[in-house]
Amino acid sequence: MFSAVVLSALAVFGWSMPGGHVAAAGQQSGTETASSGEAVYRAQCTLCHARALFENMPARRILRALESGIMAPFAAGLGRAEREAVSDYLGTPDSESGPSPEAFCGDRTVAVNAASAPAWNGWSQTAGNMRYQPAEAAGVSVQQVRDLKLQWAFGFDRDLASYSQPAVIDGQVFVGSDGGVVYALQAETGCIQWTFAARAPIRTAILVAARDSGHAVLFGDQTAWFYALDAKTGQLLWSREVDDHPTARITGSPVTYEGVVFVPVASLEEQLSMKRDYDQCCTFRGSVAALRVEDGTVIWKSYLIAETARRIGTAKDGRSIWGPSGAGVWSAPTVDPRRGVVYVTTGNNYSPPATPMSDAVVALNMTTGAVVWTRQITADDVFSGCGTCVDERGRGPDHDFAASAILVSRDGGRDILLAGQKSGIVYGFDPDRQGEIVWQTRIAQGSSHGGVQWGIASDGEYVYAPIADGGFTRIEDADGFRRAMLEPNGGGGLAALRVTDGALVWRAEPAAACAGIDACSPAQLGAATAIPGVVFSGAMDGHIRAYSAENGVVIWDFDTLGEHVTVNGVAAKGGALNGNGPVVVNGMVFVNSGYNHFNSITGNVLLMFRPEAEGGR
């Protein structure tokens, strides 16, 4: 997904280890001390991680990430003493305590009635992944949007990001965190009802599904484990590792249909390939797994690359080249029961040979997982964090798909499948003609980090696409290291296209809100959310904005940056908005704030808004 960003920005994403073997840093003394921890950090971590990011993070959390969490593949060459040393150097000696007793609800009863109550459940609460909330369920009009006021803020203790989109059902909020904790909250007050600790950070939207008895809270973590919790108690019902590749992760949100949950799998191998001692670039294959909601049984698993990777040559730096690889699925699948298929959009290849289902929209048989059809948009898009892994066979533009496809069902007209690409082009496909392109419209310049990133929205008549774009600039941090960050004056905007023919209806230009703010960018990478008359879109400048669906004029703007007083007593601040999109349900608007990649503005807060007339402050 972000491979070219990693190269152009000198590895701003992930835990890169470009400096050779860590042992050399640890050999400065006979025992591991704080000074050797500093040496490990300077030799191995500085290109990706500013030390200031960790100043309030417990060392034990860092160590856990290095040993069994998302960073474990990148720290595989470190000895235990070195991992402990760098964790102690970066983090604090504090123990990780749970929420304070005052943060819990007086009544901790959780009741879920998904059949009748207004809800936003999973990546999109309506069929076709449209990210559109109808008027009755939204409970907020265009005029009321103008009067939205902050009701409460919930802090995720010492996290660096807040990007797990909550599910809101029957007055309950279920949300994951960068610290790997899932919370059940009361929507009205934000008080805690229960918590659950997963193995690794949680980035997926939370999905609630009915079981034979009660409801399950479903989500994936960033080590490719998938979980089902009892919605009433937060107790683990089952968990399953859906892919055993060491860099596999679940970023795309799960979706369900008739007792089956479809889980997409992506990877961090693009970044791992930057390690000079990584000699299998690359072997990961993107996939979708179908699990039974009741017990986690695997019904089928389909890879988006048919053959397993094999050694195919030697790179210029002497490393082995393996392939084919890549084609990760970064976004939520789209279910089409009428045609009996699940649509997924795919990422680029990491290493040659190029394969036919990368950078594509793919239809999988819902029952068997077999490929029904595929429509590849960018062929030969082979790219990884390790430029030499591609060798003389060239390098693609990294124009993969990260946003889910949207299926628009039209009464009296043909259905259309919509998808936005990092190339800056939005497409309309015919699902009845093997994904034949009906129209294509360029809305942005596009690049490896531009175009359309995490999500478009549609009200059935128009499709609304946030624009990323923007380049990178270099800054020098407090430790004297030069880092890459998104440009403060590039990127951003929102485009509205007509669903039937892709004609541009309006385009909102990016806001100028970064003056004097470090690590700020107007780029709009996060998913959009639509309700009747309004489109919500967040930006990397920390603002959540509501646009008129009629003409793109901004009708509400809230700056989430800065410190927030939280209902759970946790120190929290807002940051860049990226990944997920706002959730609108029953008169409430929920917004995650904080993003820690691209050297962006970190944050750790969930905000709930409601119109002033409803008791806002």
Q: Which of 221, 251, 255, 313 is nearest to 121 (CA)?
A: 255
Range of the domain at 80: 23-90
Which band of pLDDT confidence, cut at 50, 70 and 90, is reported for residue 513? Answer: confident
Question: Does the pLDDT value for residue 431 go beyond 80?
Answer: yes
- pLDDT for the residue numbered 114: 61
Is position 451 within any domain? no
Residue 291 within any structural domain of the chain: yes
Residue in 170, 154, 278 with CA at minimum distance from that of residue 215: 170
**How far apart are alpha carbons 165 and 266 in whole angstroms?**
18
pLDDT of 609 over the 80 cut: yes
Within-domain flag for 271: yes
Query: How far apart, in whole angstroms, are the C-alpha atoms of residue 238 and residue 583?
Result: 27
Residue 32 has pLDDT above 50, yes or no: no
In a domain, 363, yes or no: yes
Looking at residue 226, what is its pLDDT?
A: 98
Domain tally for the chain? 2
Say yes or no to pLDDT of 107 above 80: yes
- Residue 343's pLDDT is what? 98
At which of 355, 372, 404 does a domain end? Answer: 404
Indicate if the alpha-carbon torsion angle 515, 521, 523, 524 is positive or negative: negative
On whether residue 539 sits in a domain, the answer given is: no
Instruction: pLDDT band for 20, please (50, 70, 90 cuts).
Output: very low
Q: Per-residue pLDDT for 17 more than 50? A: no
Does 206 fall in a domain? Answer: no
Answer yes or no: is 373 within a domain. yes
Which pLDDT tens digit goes with each residue over 254-274?
999 999 999 999 999 988 887
Between 87 and 564, the more confident residue is 564
Residue 616: predicted pLDDT: 45
What percentage of the chain has pLDDT greater than the value 70?
91
Q: Assess whether pLDDT exceeds 80 at residue 18.
A: no
- Per the listing, tokens 């360029």 go with 442
Cβ pair 522, 509 in contact under 8 A? no
Q: How confident is the model at residue 26 (pLDDT cuts 50, 70, 90)?
A: very low
Is the four-CA dihedral 373, 378, 384, 385 of positive or negative sign? negative
Lowest mean per-residue pLDDT among 38-47, 290-299, 338-347, 459-468: 38-47
How buried is 128 (Cβ within 10 angstroms: 0-12 exposed, 13-18 middle, 19+ buried)? buried
**CA 47 to the chain's CA centroid:** 22
pLDDT-based confidence at 6, cuts 50/70/90?
very low
Last residue of a domain, one of 382, 404, 426: 404
Q: Does residue 368 belong to any structural domain of this protein?
A: yes
The region, left, alpha or beta by phi > 0 then psi within -120 to 50, assigned to residue 138 is alpha
Q: Please identify, among 349, 369, 404, the residue that sits at the C-terminal boundary of a domain.
A: 404
pLDDT of residue 281: 86
Share the mean pLDDT of the chain: 89
CATH no. for residue 344? 2.40.10.480
The confidence band for 45, taking pLDDT boundaries of 50, 70 and 90, is confident
